Chains A and B, each alone.
Chain A
Amino acid sequence: MLKINNLCAKVGDKDILKGLNLEVKPGELHAIMGPNGSGKSTLAAVLAGRDSFEVTDGSVDLDGIDLLDLEASDRAREGVFLAFQYPIEIPGVSNLNFMKAALNGKRSHQGLEPIKAKDFLAKVKECSSLVELDGQLRDRSVNEGFSGGEKKRNEIFQMAMLEPKLAILDETDSGLDIDALRVVSKGVNAMRSSERSFIVITHYQRLLEHIVPDFVHVLSNGKIVKSGGKELALELEEKGYDWLKEPSHDTSNA
């Protein structure tokens, strides 16, 4: 499914990812944890094709396609979905029109006709109920005036609509109260299948109680420094990250 090999990326003169390796098989859910500034969100952005980051080395292969060769929109059409940490507002563009444009973009890429209005609405109904997103929310402008929780639910709604191969959730739990967290997790769990892979980026173990990972990785200073099963998350919760940091960083703390 996804093979990340020696991925290096920088923004400006600052190296952020420094040789990251990760393999995700179909149906697996990998959690990526790590301290602030370790490169978690950069990894998400680089995979999604944000051009403010420069990839200096390495490769990313999604089912035989070199992702790094593709424009962001084509990566999305190939099935990469990023749930944003801070979803963007687009005033005046209705959520539904936005989704229709997205869905039809993907369909045209697959050589399919634009979706029929009836089918589209049925799909909207199904996916919005998944995250308890009421009708009024769907018709509002994209994320405009949404509360933090509504924005995150909208991300999961969009994910359900687009049925990605690989979903990357960037700190989806940030800013969520416990009820919203439950709703969002329920949506994500409903989406899990043997063909769909997830990379879940999070700070806290809390989310992983609801969305149980197959693997947990610790990202520090641009590299994965430790990998394990779901129990690793608990260990991190208890011990923090300092014990995993590379020696070069330990000196700065001394």
Chain B
Amino acid sequence: MERIDEDKLIDEVTGKSYEYGFTTDIESETLPPGLNEGVVRTISAKKNEPEWLLNWRLEAFKVWSEMKEPDWAHVEYEKPDFQAISYYSAPKQKKELASLDEVDPKLLKTMEKLGISIEEQKRLSGVAVDFVMDSVSVATSFKEKLGELGVIFCSLGEAIQEHPELVRKHLGTVVPQRDNYYAALNSAVFTDGSFCYIPKGVRCPMELSTYFRINQAGTGQFERTLIVADEGSYVSYLEGCTAPQRDENQLHAAVVEIISHDEAEVRYSTVQNWYPGDQDGKGGVFNFVTKRGLCHRASKISWTQVETGSAVTWKYPSCILKGDDSIGEFFSVAVTNNKQQADTGTKMIHIGKRTRSTIISKGISSGHSQNSYRGLVQIHPGAENSRNFSVCDSLLMTDTCGAHTFPYIEAKNPTAQIEHEATTSKIGDDQIFYCQQRGIEEEEAIGLIVKGYAKDVLNKLPMEFAVEAQKLLTISLEGSVG
């Protein structure tokens, strides 16, 4: 498997794929809009999938056909026409630009502020890049090192071909096909995503970042990620990118499943910065994501997210604390500006004894946006001596935005301890003036104050991510205090 990846990398370097012009292939590889059983079969066939997976997809499609799009979230949008979407197109080579001069200057300015290098700016905005040998050799040695430890980190499509048993054993065990409308849709039509397996007792020595998967095509509209940490293993996984991502697909319905076996630990960090649309929220991405982890005995799953993008976000990274003594954590900063709407939070399902969960949610709303925290803490009858601690704060930047909190607590065991703290505050003119009086300009002052407010969450991010995420927060809120 390592061999293949290296070959692919070398292909990238030499730029052969460009010569052969993937773009011409795409036209014939794109299915006409619409969704029916035939489409599901075609996707599965295109991906050369085994019979069981086709059946699994068909089952999902059947369930989805009978479901209704949910409308309980505190968001308003025009429901997408699912028959107007094309559900398969071959991995697309982004239209290539000759130089950065052709890139939207606004986008470049943002990236500059984020401190992204010129080479990286080119890569992100789709400008043809001569790969710097350094970054390739880093990626290659990275793969080699993982291979030695038996860590599998590849696309889900590749994993289905190369490690079908591992995929079959775990796929859909945490987010079943019928879980919810978007998860069902994803199960039927997912095209690709990431797969990660950490063998027993292995402590993955580096952050697994989708960044290193440069040999992979861009993320799909219906991405599916499966992370399996075997007994006693540890992995830190990074997803997303702080650079603004535009996408022609308006609807994104991803699924992420994590299985943390006995005494394993998984940290999943994500920075989401999909295009939020213009000032009126037009053209922004709808992000309907299902992320859930299953904790076996004495294991731990930690979700950290920084959400700044998308027109509409609907996302609840959750933990099922099935094993005794397992731990679930959720740390979130969600920023909304202009007309953005976010309904995000978590579910902590305590099933095992002495299970513990921590929730720290920091919402920041500005402009005319709506920012909701929705959380469920559920203590099952057998979850003796379980504990939850939740903090859920909202910071308002303007008088026109909204912050909402919907915490649900269901305790069915009297030994449970549940604490919930919530605050709402408006960014203080006093605080801004205090900073200004010390010579700090207004925008920098807002950045400082917001970063301070979100510190408890930002601290949970891996270093390399944290710095960019901090800058991103500042940029997302630029000009937001009037």
- CB-CB under 8 A from A87, the residues of chain B are 434
- CB-CB under 8 A from A137, the residues of chain B are none
- CB-CB under 8 A from B431, the residues of chain A are 88-90
Q: In the bound complex, how far is the Cα of B436 from the Cα of A171, in angstroms? A: 20
A92 nearest in chain B by CB position: B452
Pick out which of these stretches binds chain B: A5-13, A28-36, A47-55.
A47-55
A73-B456 CB under 8 A given contacts A52-B429, A93-B449, A98-B448: no
- Chain B 438-463, CB-CB to A under 8 Å as 1, else 0, gives 11111011001101111110000000
Contact with A91, one of B429, B434, B438, B452 (Cβ below 8 angstroms)? B452
- CB-CB under 8 A from B442, the residues of chain A are 71, 73
- CB-CB under 8 A from A51, the residues of chain B are 433
- CB-CB under 8 A from B456, the residues of chain A are 92
Contact A90 B449 (CB under 8 A): yes
- CB-CB under 8 A from A172, the residues of chain B are none
In the complex, number of A-B residue pairs with CB atoms less than 8 Å apart = 84
Contact A76 B437 (CB under 8 A): yes
Q: In the bound complex, how far is the Cα of B433 from the Cα of A88, in angstroms? A: 9
Contact A102 B438 (CB under 8 A): yes
A162-B452 CB under 8 A given contacts A72-B433, A90-B431: no
Contact B452 A105 (CB under 8 A): no
B428: CB under 8 A from chain A? yes
Contact A105 B440 (CB under 8 A): yes
Contact A72 B437 (CB under 8 A): yes
CB contacts under 8 Å to A, within B91-144, are: none
A101: CB under 8 A from chain B? yes
A207: CB under 8 A from chain B? no
B430: CB under 8 A from chain A? yes
Contact A92 B429 (CB under 8 A): no
Q: In the bound complex, how far is the Cα of B456 from the Cα of A213, in angstroms? A: 46
Nearest CB in chain B: distance from A140 CB, A:
12
Contact B433 A50 (CB under 8 A): yes
A78 nearest in chain B by CB position: B439
A73-B452 CB under 8 A given contacts A49-B436, A50-B433, A87-B434: no
A152: CB under 8 A from chain B? no
Q: In the bound complex, how far is the Cα of B455 from the Cα of A97, in angstroms? A: 13
Contact B438 A162 (CB under 8 A): yes
A158 nearest in chain B by CB position: B438
Contact with B440, one of A48, A49, A102 (Cβ below 8 angstroms)? A102
CB contacts under 8 Å to B, within A103-140, are: 103, 105-106, 109
A107 nearest in chain B by CB position: B439
A77 nearest in chain B by CB position: B439
A204: CB under 8 A from chain B? no
Q: In the bound complex, how far is the Cα of B451 from the Cα of A52, in angstroms? A: 25
Nearest CB in chain A: distance from B397 CB, A:
15
A106 nearest in chain B by CB position: B439
A93-B448 CB under 8 A given contacts A88-B430, A88-B431: yes
A146: CB under 8 A from chain B? no
- CB-CB under 8 A from A82, the residues of chain B are 437
Nearest first, the 4 closest Cβ-Cβ pairs linking A and B are A92-B452, A93-B452, A102-B438, A76-B439
Besides the contacts A48-B437, A71-B436, A73-B436, what 16 more A-B pairs have beta carbons closer than 8 Å?
A48-B433, A51-B433, A52-B429, A72-B436, A73-B441, A73-B442, A73-B445, A76-B437, A76-B439, A88-B434, A90-B449, A97-B448, A98-B438, A101-B438, A105-B440, A162-B438
Task: List 22 interface pairs A-B (beta carbons < 8 Å), by A numbering.
Answer: A49-B437, A51-B433, A52-B429, A72-B436, A73-B439, A73-B445, A76-B436, A84-B434, A88-B433, A88-B434, A89-B431, A92-B452, A93-B449, A98-B435, A98-B438, A101-B435, A101-B440, A102-B438, A105-B438, A105-B439, A158-B438, A162-B438
Residues of A within 8 A of B (CB): 48-52, 71-73, 75-77, 81-82, 84, 87-93, 97-99, 101-103, 105-106, 109, 141, 158, 162
